[in-house]
Amino acid sequence: MGKEVRQLEPREVWNKFADLNEVPRPSKKEGRVIRFMLDFGTSLGLETFSDSVGNVIIRKPATAGMEDRKKVTLQSHLDMVHQKNADTKFDFDTEGIKMYVDGDWVKAQGTTLGADNGLGVAAIMALLESTDIPHPFLEALFTIDEETGMTGAMGLEGGVLQGAILLNLDTEEDDEIDIGCAGGIDVTATRSYTEEPTAAGSVGYLITVKNLQGGHSGMDIHKGLGNANKIMNRLLYNATEAFDIQLSEIDGGSLRNAIPRESFAKIAVKNDQVIDFESRLKQWAAIIKAEFAIKEPELELTAVKIDTPEKVMHKTVLEKLVRAVYAAHNGVYAMSAAISDLVETSNNIARVEVKDGKMKIGCLTRSSVNSAKMDVANALKSAFELADFSVGFDGDYPGWNPNPDSAILDVLEGKYASLFGEKPQVVACHAGLECGILGQNYPEMDMISFGPTIKGAHSPDERASISSVRKFWKFLLEILKDIPKN
């Protein structure tokens, strides 16, 4: 099925994307894709090297007649979010992505596609390999670990890059030009507890929340999609209020930057409460499904009997856990006062793990206003500390302040209008782009972000528009022709 993708136009981009998707490239495990990119640049006879953290830089001289133009840094990240459906058998550490064509979309079989940011990487690779595309001096910057901490961008030292202009190819709507983004911080709550034997005469249940849409915890946070961790917690809260349930395990969500699609909990219910418990759980499930009928029509909430767990947590610990997660904010916290319809601040309760006497809850808080970001982080910290959790902050990265007077923005706006007969949308986004981090060491660099249309990023529903990739490629080539002179 990958052969079908390789026949798409522009072939130079889709073939490079197919090559890239044969290389496993999870965040924080980018060794193979780093070697792949180093071998690629070296095979072209171009200046190629990696820095101390693993970012790859490849430089290509300007084509004839373009030597007097400003130098351009093209930037995309090598890693991809790894998400799959529960019933999909796939090993992200060893297998290449299995792609197929569905109308105007390229999709993957039950996994994320890697178009975020693989199509940006592929476009840059196609430019580096080209022999007939006019362009100024090009410097390709392939960063690592964008999806789980942006440590590649953070680790890039000043003085390495030569470009005066940075084109970040990580935006996911082809009619948008991004000039700003949100910053973020990881909030992690942990707590230990002493397990105790399950009460005699108890019946085990596996509660499942699944088939939610999921999505990007920044770009999709305003859509009101279901969060599996919050839905599971709601069920557990109701159950603890009405019955003497005992909790053994919770396994909910996965990555911080993905809205959780699934959650699983193992509990025990006293035998004399089983009939009432099953009846009430069906009622609660029906209420929740009715609330999400439009946004999450495939939502499934089930409870099936399993072997009774041997160990559970004490009821008072369970009560503190469910109250803390209930109190913790999830979703949009504030909209921007400066830019219409832009989410300013949000939080994603991304991961809930309870097992073997340990609890861990992971959140990603985003905001384009640093003080607001920390305000929400401190609110989460307070909620979890009241339940005797220890709370830590990590992975703090800055936002990217918009520059409406950008010279390269003028070039892109004019070029887009002349090519496509309409004005582009000049926006800031609620996702985390690396421009803000890179700008700390390269404050004079003129930065902009754009890309092809990608839907469902960070979920197995991720898909890339074929017609949009053609549009994006045409736009990129025309931009390079009109880079200003030094």
Q: How many CB atoms lie within 10 A of CB 290?
A: 9
Helix or strand run (H / E) with residue 248 = strand 246-253
Mapped onto helix, strand or coil, the DSSP state of residue 304 is strand
Query: Cα dist. 389→260, 360, 383 in Å?
Result: 22, 9, 9
**Chain CA centroid to CA 207, Å:** 27
Q: Which residue in the list 79, 172, 344, 446 is annotated as catalytic?
A: 79
- Sheet with 463-465, side-by-side order of all strands: 99-102, 105-108, 463-465, 454-455
Question: In sequence order, which ranges of 115-247 are alpha helices (DSSP H)?
Answer: 115-129, 151-155, 228-242
In 3D space, the residue among 115, 102, 217 whose CA is nearest the CA of residue 172 turns out to be 115
Give CA–CA dist 443/254, Å, rounded. Answer: 35
Helical axes 407-420 vs 466-481, angle rounded to 10°: 130
The sign of the torsion formed by the CA atoms of 169, 173, 178, 183 equals negative
**Chain CA centroid to CA 369, Å:** 20
- The answer to whether 389 and 359 are in contact (CB under 8 A) is yes
Type of residue numbered 216: H
- Active site (annotated) includes residue 79: yes
Give CA–CA dist 45/393, Å, rounded. Answer: 44
Q: How many CB atoms lie within 10 A of CB 98?
A: 16
List strand residue ranges (DSSP E) for 89-201, in order.
99-102, 105-108, 138-143, 165-168, 176-181, 183-192, 196-197
- Active site (annotated) includes residue 291: no
Q: Which residue in the list 30, 139, 145, 146 is annotated as catalytic?
A: 146
> What's the distance, Cα to Cα, between the start and end of the chain in Å?
46
Residues 6+ apart with CB under 8 A from 3: none
Residues 6+ apart with CB under 8 A from 301: 207, 208, 209, 231, 235, 284, 285, 288, 289
Active site residues: 79, 146
